[in-house]
Amino acid sequence: MLNIVLFGPPGAGKGTQSEKLIQHYGLIHLSTGDLLRNEIAGQTKLGLEAKKLMDQGVLVPDEVVIGMIESKLDANPTAKGFIFDGFPRTTAQAAALDNLLLQKNTTIKMMLALEVTEVELSKRLLLRGKDSGRPDDQNPEVIKKRINEYNNKTAPVADYYRKQNKYYGINGIGSIDEIFNLLCKAIDK
Ligand code: AMP
C-alpha cells in the first residue's frame, strides 16, 4: 500500500496537491478538516462541538479525529493507499495512526512536507477565504491562531517522521504543477 502523510501549515496547498495525487496514484483522500466540515454540514453532535473549536482556530481533541480516521480506514479495506491530509496534527495522532496501520499490516511510506513562509501563508488563506466560504479563513486573528497551533502542536510531528527516516521537505512555493512534479519525484524515487 502507498500511504502518504501530506504535511504543512494551513494554506500550504495540501488540499490542492492531494486532489492531484489521488488522481495520479489512485489513492483515497483522507482530510480530517473535510470530514469535520461534513459533520458540521450534517449538524451532527460531533460537528456542532467541533465547530466551536474550528471557528476559534484551535485543534479538536485527538480522540475525535483518530476515531474518524479509524472508521474511514475500516470502510476502505481494498484501498491501494491513502493520502492523509491535515492528519496527524499532534504526535499522539501520529502514534495512533502507526498503531491503526500496523493492525492492518501496513505502514506510512513517507511524509511529504510542503514548506511555505508565514507571510505567504497568511496571504493565501485570506485570498482563499474570499471564495471558500470557510469562516476560519476570513478572520486574520483566527488565521494567526491556526498558524500558532501549527507551530506549537503540529510542527513537532515532522520530527516523529524524521526519526523514522520518512521526512521529505518539498518547496511549496511555485506553480501548482511545479510543486506536483516535485511531489511525484519524491514518491517515485
Ligand atoms: P483544515 O481543513 O485541515 O485546515 O482543518 C480545519 C480545522 O479543523 C483546524 O483548524 C482544526 O480546528 C480542525 N482539524 C482538522 N484536522 C485536525 C486534526 N488532525 N486534529 C485536530 N484538529 C483538526
Provide the pLDDT for residue 126: 87
Dist CA 24 CA 55 (whole Å) = 33
Structural domain spans, the chain: 4-188
* Three cell numbers written together for 68: 474518524
Provide the pLDDT for residue 133: 84
Alpha helices in the chain, H assignment, sequence order: 14-25, 32-41, 45-56, 62-75, 91-103, 118-132, 140-149, 156-163, 176-188
Residues in a beta bridge with 112: 6, 168
Provide the pLDDT for residue 165: 98
Pick the atom of ligand 1 nearest to 10's CA: 4
Pick the atom of ligand 1 nearest to 31's CA: 3
Ligand 1 pocket, 89 CB below 6 A?
A: yes
Beta-carbon contacts of 166 under 8 Å, excluding residues fewer than 6 positions away, are 108, 109, 110, 111
Pick the atom of ligand 1 nearest to 57's CA: 10
Q: What is the mean pLDDT of each run of 10 residues along the chain (189 residues)?
A: 96 96 98 97 97 97 98 96 98 98 97 94 88 88 93 97 98 97 97
- Write the residue with the smallest CA distance to atom 11 of ligand 1: 59
Provide the pLDDT for residue 129: 87
Compute CA 20 distance to the chain's CA centroid, rounded to the nearest angstrom: 14
The H or E element spanning position 167 is strand 167-171
The CATH fold of domain 4-188:
Rossmann fold (3.40.50)
Ligand 1 pocket, 125 CB below 6 A?
A: no
Contact status, residue 68 vs residue 35, Cβ threshold 8 Å:
yes
Contact status, residue 167 vs residue 111, Cβ threshold 8 Å:
yes
Beta-carbon contacts of 19 under 8 Å, excluding residues fewer than 6 positions away, are 29
Provide the pLDDT for residue 184: 98
